[in-house]
């Protein structure tokens, strides 16, 4: 079980679309806006985990064209989020967003987030520490996973929101937002090119 806890921590803490988007939202829009997004990410990730546990994920990815469709949607949606984060606080009036990405946006992100499926599949299909009791083991895995997931994501949100509260010069804040947005896109591109 200790190996499972370490795997949870290492797989969740590493930057992926969810982690980077929550840090970017914190940096661009502040802690309160980021909290709504965080809880959407959490519910979306829980639903992805349940899809893995009940075999729905395996069925979805067995359809030959569906992984590419989900990947295309994921890339498009992450590009949209990256642009919103990059332009947060921008003075360019014709592209300034009036709506901060929220709960539903995060839920959609997790539904198409390739890292969410990969992490959940790795954790819930491996690390069999109680093989004679699969239901209890799965329940314990869900508790441990969420016990790690929630504070890790709040930490990333706090880090981003701390940058937001520093009241940095507009050009520095914009540079940070752009860096967060570009990092999100790079992580997805790396995930695309590292696929078998």
pLDDT in tens, 13-53: 877 778 888 888 888 788 988 999 999 999 999 999 999 88
Q: Give me the pLDDT at residue 150, please.
A: 95
% of the chain surpassing 70 pLDDT? 88
Residue/partner pairs of 5-10 with CB below 8 Å, 24 or more apart: 5/144, 5/148, 7/122, 7/123, 7/126, 7/127, 8/123, 8/144, 8/145, 8/148, 8/149, 9/148, 9/152
Confidence band of 93 (pLDDT split at 50, 70, 90): very low
Q: Which of 16-30, 116-130, 174-188 shows the lowest mean pLDDT across its residues?
A: 174-188
Show the DSSP H helices in 112-133 as ranges.
114-125
CA distance 158 to 149: 14
pTM for the full predicted model: 0.76
pLDDT in tens, 132-158: 888 899 999 999 999 999 999 999 999
- Residue for token pair 């075999």: 55
């Amino acid at each position: 079980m200790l190996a499972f806890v370490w795997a949870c921590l290492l797989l969740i803490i590493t930057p992926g679309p969810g982690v980077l988007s929550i840090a970017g939202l914190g940096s661009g829009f502040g802690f309160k806006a980021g909290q709504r997004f965080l809880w959407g990410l959490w519910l979306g990730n829980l639903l992805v985990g349940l899809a893995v546990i009940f075999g729905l994920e395996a069925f979805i990815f067995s359809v030959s064209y569906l992984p590419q469709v989900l990947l295309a949607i994921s890339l498009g949606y992450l590009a949209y989020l990256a642009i919103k984060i990059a332009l947060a606080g921008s003075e360019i009036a014709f592209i300034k967003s009036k709506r901060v990405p929220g709960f539903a946006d995060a839920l959609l992100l997790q539904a198409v987030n390739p890292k969410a499926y990969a992490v959940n599949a790795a954790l819930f299909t491996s690390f069999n520490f109680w093989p004679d009791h699969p239901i209890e083991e799965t329940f314990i895995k869900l508790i441990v996973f969420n016990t790690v997931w929630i504070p890790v994501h709040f930490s990333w949100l706090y880090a981003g929101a701390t940058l937001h509260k520093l009241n940095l010069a507009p050009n520095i804040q914009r540079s940070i937002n752009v860096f967060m947005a570009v990092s999100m896109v790079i992580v997805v591109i790396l995930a695309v090119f590292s696929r078998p």
